[in-house]
Structure 1
Amino acid sequence: MTHVSQFLGEEADLGPEKRITILSAPLASSVSWLGGTERGPQAIIDASPALEVFDDELLLETVRLGIGTRPVPDFSALSTAEACRQIEQSVAGELAKGMFPVLLGGEHTVTVPAVQACLAQYPDLHVVQIDAHLDLRQEYEGNENSHACVMRRLDDLGIPFTQIGIRSFSKEEYELVRSRGLQPFFMSRIHAEQDWIEQVCREIKGPVYLTCDVDGLDPAIMPGTGTPEPDGLTWRQTIDLLRGIASNHRIVGMDFVEFSPHPGAEHAAFTVAKLIYRTLGYIFR
């Protein structure tokens, strides 16, 4: 397959000036079970030209806002710490230019440096996490910077967060949630409480950094991930949530992580690309 150099391909040039930057962070140093997240950013970019740039819900061409794409870097020779420093610098650089950063992972670890870059500009930042997992472990397999620890590292920074779509966690994580009085939006809660999106929006204080681990979505629509968990968010639940957040709060940066392309499930890359494009439409409409 020929690699596409920019998100949406040739149609990305419909925008007169760039306001949005697609950044890639193909880090895969601590992946669990099925690998391949280092190939995720390029697969999403490669699938994106198949999108109709006229959004079928919003009835406008979001691409005309101006979407630029930075080259996918090679992290294969870098340590996790070096890669994270590079990610933080890249996101900070886009923010300094007044750009809206969209980071494509890679594993979920990439969220920490991206959030640190946003925190420097938005000290009252609130992180919204879509995920099947709590990611609140102190360490995983001896690694405190594992993808399974990303929200624990953000918690160490004192950043408030809201967790949505959760349906898999360790006893240690559950005990932390209970002891701290945290109230994640477990899938059981989402099924039981019709006003869950309104509750999410009420909980958010301050500008939002959105981190979407694609395994938060149900594997029926998102098979392309290393740790698929049944009973996830549907497409409709996910976009209703993102519309609600974008309508009520200012989203200042976002990432889409843990996408892993698998043969026979090529549609999943298109689904992530459409989710990114739709979310940008909600943010900027």
Structure 2
Amino acid sequence: MGRVARCKKILAFFRNFTILFPCVRNCEKEEKKMRFDEAYSGHVFIGASPDYEKSRVVLYGMPMDWTVSYRPGSRFGPGRIREVSIGLEEYSPYLDRELAEISYFDAGDMPLPFGNPQKSLDMIENYVGTLLDDGKFPFGLGGEHLVTWPVIRAVYKKYPDLAVIHFDAHTDLRTDYEGEPLSHATPIRKTAELIGPANVYSFGIRSGLKEEFEWAERNGMHIAKFEVLEPLKKVLPALSGRHVYVTVDIDVLDPAFAPGTGTVDAGGITSKELLASIHAIARSGVNVIGCDLVEVAPVYDHSEQTANTASKLVREMMLGWVK
């Protein structure tokens, strides 16, 4: 059969197909009617608005784990947090608020270039800068903790009085890791050098080099070892009136509560204490102007315990910190 004859046969097939199934001809017209709620497909966080312009918060994924030194996989964290959010109640009995009271847009995951940390970080910084210019509250999902660094750079340009609250198992105060300055072990050191060590408040820290702890003490950085809630309560009054960014590494939790992360570290806090800490910030009146939650690695999260916990944390952070 020649080429022309084959084409005619194919066209005839599709003409007959549309006669038998007329909805095919009207697929564009019927698309909205036939499309299911994206939240039930795991594509967006539950309750997200499709309207960027009218939304106060923009939830965005930073699926990067290019510099991870131990267990990779956190680039899949943002997607899994969205997927499990369908099991989440939209009402918070802690705060007596529900997600319908705030408007948030889920932008999806950024198309970061695989294996190119510098270009990825530049893309994140530019994107967050645009969000801030548009008056949005940026809420990032990681991804390894290095993704916080370009966000801080963007936020600091807008808010030069910035203070950072950091929940983590690790100091993240190295200048480099195996000679590489762009590493998941360096974002808080970079942050401290940018905004000043005295403007960085780290909580739950239980792992790091001796030199990192010594550097923090020598330079006036605030580090609370092992605990979060009580030392946090003591410093919140000093942050009143400041613009504050909060970064939460899921491994601040004990592995019993969050096994699905790249660098687990025993002796962490409970999920109850982390929730109470989020609520303490909410009730303090501190002006939170952006936040992120990072390091969920689904491949190690066999019961989805970590992702479900992270999803609940996202709800509480939004309801508690976005006015």
> Structure 1 length normalisation: TM-score?
0.91
Residue 198 of structure 1: which of 204, 209, 233 is its match? 233
**Higher mean Cα deviation, 113-122 or 64-73?**
64-73
Which residue number in structure 2 is paired with residue 275 of structure 1?
313
Matched, 1:74 2:91: no
Which residue number in structure 1 is paired with residue 66 of structure 2?
29
How far apart are the structure 2 equivalents of 1:71 and 1:208? 24
What is the CA-CA distance between 1:77 and the residue it aligns to? Answer: 3.6
Which residue number in structure 2 is paired with residue 247 of structure 1?
283
Give the counterpart letter for 2:244 in structure 1.
V
Which residue number in structure 2 is paired with residue 96 of structure 1?
133
Which residue number in structure 1 is paired with residue 251 of structure 2?
215
**Higher mean Cα deviation, 11-20 or 52-61?**
11-20
Pair 1:72–1:3, CA change in 2 (3 A):
farther
How does 1:130-149 map onto structure 2 within 5 Å?
130-149=167-186
What is the CA-CA distance between 1:100 and the residue it aligns to? Answer: 0.8
Which residue number in structure 1 is paired with residue 270 of structure 2?
234
Matched, 1:174 2:175: no
Pair 1:251–1:23, CA change in 2 (3 A):
same
5+ long unaligned stretches in structure 2: 1-39
**Higher mean Cα deviation, 269-278 or 56-65?**
56-65
Pair 1:88–1:171, CA change in 2 (3 A):
same
How does 1:106-185 map onto structure 2 within 5 Å?
106-159=143-196, 160-185=199-224
How far apart are the structure 1 equivalents of 2:301 and 2:128? 31
- Which secondary structure state, in structure 2, belongs to the residue aligned with residue 71 of structure 1? strand
What is the CA-CA distance between 1:178 and the residue it aligns to? Answer: 3.1
Instruction: Using CA pairs under 8 Å that are at least 6 residues apart, name the structure with larger relative contact order, 1 or 2.
Output: 1
How far apart are the structure 2 equivalents of 1:78 and 1:33? 16
Give the counterpart letter for 2:309 in structure 1.
T
What is the CA-CA distance between 1:263 and the residue it aligns to? Answer: 4.7
**Aligned length, in residue pairs:** 278
Is this contact kept in 2: 1:127–1:211, CA < 8 A?
Answer: yes
How far apart are the structure 1 equivalents of 2:279 and 2:65? 30
Pair 1:222–1:77, CA change in 2 (3 A):
closer
- Which secondary structure state, in structure 2, belongs to the residue aligned with residue 246 of structure 1? helix
Give the counterpart letter for 2:269 in structure 1.
L
What is the CA-CA distance between 1:76 and the residue it aligns to? Answer: 4.0
How far apart are the structure 1 equivalents of 2:77 and 2:192? 26
Give the counterpart letter for 1:31 in structure 2.
V
How far apart are the structure 2 equivalents of 1:178 and 1:282? 31
**Higher mean Cα deviation, 23-32 or 241-250?**
241-250
Which residue number in structure 2 is paired with residue 284 of structure 1?
322
What is the CA-CA distance between 1:29 and the residue it aligns to? Answer: 1.2
What is the CA-CA distance between 1:118 and the residue it aligns to? Answer: 0.8
- Which secondary structure state, in structure 2, belongs to the residue aligned with residue 224 of structure 1? coil
Which residue number in structure 1 is paired with residue 56 of structure 2?
19
Which residue number in structure 2 is paired with residue 50 of structure 1?
87
Q: Which has the larger radius of gyration?
A: 2
How does 1:57-68 map onto structure 2 within 5 Å?
57-68=94-105
Is this contact kept in 2: 1:139–1:145, CA < 8 A?
Answer: yes
Give the counterpart letter for 1:186 in structure 2.
K
Please report the RMSD computed on the Cα atoms of aligned residues, expressed in angstroms: 2.1
Give the counterpart letter for 1:201 in structure 2.
L
- Which secondary structure state, in structure 1, belongs to the residue aligned with residue 221 of structure 2? coil
**Higher mean Cα deviation, 86-95 or 197-206?**
197-206
Matched, 1:6 2:44: yes
How far apart are the structure 1 equivalents of 2:219 and 2:140? 30
How far apart are the structure 2 equivalents of 1:245 and 1:273? 18
CA offset digits 1:124-151 (Å, max 9, x no partner) = 0001000000110111111111010111
What is the CA-CA distance between 1:14 and the residue it aligns to? Answer: 9.7
5+ long unaligned stretches in structure 1: none
